[in-house]
Structure 1
Amino acid sequence: MTGPIVAHLWIASDCPDTDFTAKLVDVYPPHADGSDGFALNLTSGILRVRYRDSWETPQMMEPGKVYAIRIELFPCSNRFAAGHRIRLDISSSNFPHFDLNFNTAEPEGLSTHARIATNSVYVDASRPSHVVLPMMPVRRNNHG
């Protein structure tokens, strides 16, 4: 896989503003040498939901309302080897990689208090949250 990665999520929150983050991970399996395997972070991205429609005109959320959002992760390239797994971590924070959101709808950098957000991600037929991975075509050598 190589190129831009996009997570399409259907989300809701009980706060007027919150962040959603996405992290793409290559999960290595346990190895014959006795190692337990490991998780390699490949790339990540974030969306402050007030900017879901426009950077110029932020809009707060209605608590409990479901919204469709896009999180653009930084482009990357990776070959997922046989036996590896692809993991997508969704969270509401990736501090200190990205700054904090206090979930209050106050102006950024001027928060006077914080709220704990209860956030939801929906994955069903009518709200199909998913990630799009840019796949490279398989090249065949002269031997088949």
Structure 2
Amino acid sequence: NEFDMSNHFGNIDIPIYHLGGWFDVFLNGTLKFYQGVSKNGKSDKTKQNQRLIVGPWVHGPTNIDNRFAGEFDFGPDAALDFNELRLPWFDFWLKGKNNGIDETKKINFFVMGKNEWKQADEWPLNNTTYTKYYFNKKLNGEIKSLYSGTLSDKKEIENSQLSFTNNLNNPVPSLGGNTLSIPNGVFEHSSVDKQCITFSTNPLENELEVTGPVSAEIYVNSDQENSDWVVRLCDVDQSGYSRLVCDGIFRSHATSGEIQKIKIDMWATSNMFLKGHRLRISVTSSCFPRFDRALNNGSEESKNNILCGGSNASYITLPIINS
């Protein structure tokens, strides 16, 4: 609680330019802080003069002038000059220069996939439809994973489950993502996806923009008391390149075999899934060393199940932007 700023938003009375990256380890805090001060700041002036910029970046101002995040090239427009962002802000608020910075859109965000910047005055965006995509057992087969199921906005009627073994001595590795001291950003993710249970759409017939908070609600059980549940969203192009979009983890505690419904916060993103691309969900129980492993009184393995369809339909909720 000593690091929780949510109880102090009402004491903040200063304009703030919030800066974050889609692969920044502190992304979630940046978004919450922007929203919190914008809504609960001490004065109307403070509430109205919060600004937010989020690019396809990893953590740190030295990474802003960089078109790459990890190995992936997001194009020349991804790289911005840090001084060109902050100097007009300071000139207006500290030197009184009337440069119009107070009249700009409040939010500037980079849409990956399309690789372009967009502006808005609210977060999440007003033209958002939160849409459930269900994890269905129907075989897709687009990748040789532990099981290649189907991701669809229609859920299967029948209850089913898919099982996998989590081995503490051979955990599914982390590869990029929102980390700080280990390789972060985007790397080709198929080698990790193959070690997971996956659910994929068919190739898209039209572009699909996903911008905003992402979460998954899944039904699970395990033969051990402690289990980690990782859900990851990737953008898969026609060549099969799997690009990480966002992910999340939740540690459950339950008696052996107990079915739980858990919600996984996958933070937020902005990504345009292009025509011909697929959405791929990966489900596993480790992401090491980014997250520590769930230990179970010396047991090296756990048999974990994710439930699908019917009354136990697992799904991801995507913020679809209406064009």
Q: What TM-score does the superposition give when structure 1 sets the normalisation length? A: 0.75
- The residue aligned with 1:42 is 245
- The residue aligned with 2:290 is 97
- Specify the structure having the higher radius of gyration (Cα): 2
Verify: 1:126 aligned to 2:314, yes or no.
Answer: no
The alpha carbon displacement at 1:44 in A equals: 1.0
- The CA deviation string for residues 33-80 of structure 1, in whole angstroms up to 9 with x for no partner, is xxxx30001111000113xxxxxxxxxx11111111111102111000
The alpha carbon displacement at 1:93 in A equals: 0.4
Q: Gapped runs of 5+ residues in structure 2?
A: 1-209
Question: 1: CA distance between counterparts of 2:268 and 2:317?
Answer: 12
The alpha carbon displacement at 1:115 in A equals: 3.0
- SS of residue matched to 1:83: coil
Verify: 1:115 aligned to 2:318, yes or no.
Answer: no
Verify: 1:12 aligned to 2:221, yes or no.
Answer: yes
Question: 1: CA distance between counterparts of 2:265 and 2:233?
Answer: 11
- The CA deviation string for residues 100-133 of structure 1, in whole angstroms up to 9 with x for no partner, is 11234xxxxxxxx343110000002110101000
- The residue aligned with 2:271 is 78
Question: 1: CA distance between counterparts of 2:215 and 2:296?
Answer: 23
- The residue aligned with 1:23 is 232
Question: 1: CA distance between counterparts of 2:282 and 2:268?
Answer: 16
Question: 2: CA distance between counterparts of 1:77 and 1:19?
Answer: 26
Q: What TM-score does the superposition give when structure 2 sets the normalisation length? A: 0.34
- The residue aligned with 2:18 is none
The alpha carbon displacement at 1:28 in A equals: 0.7
Percent of aligned pairs with the same residue?
32
Question: 2: CA distance between counterparts of 1:38 and 1:114?
Answer: 35
Question: 1: CA distance between counterparts of 2:296 and 2:250?
Answer: 13
Aligned residues: 114
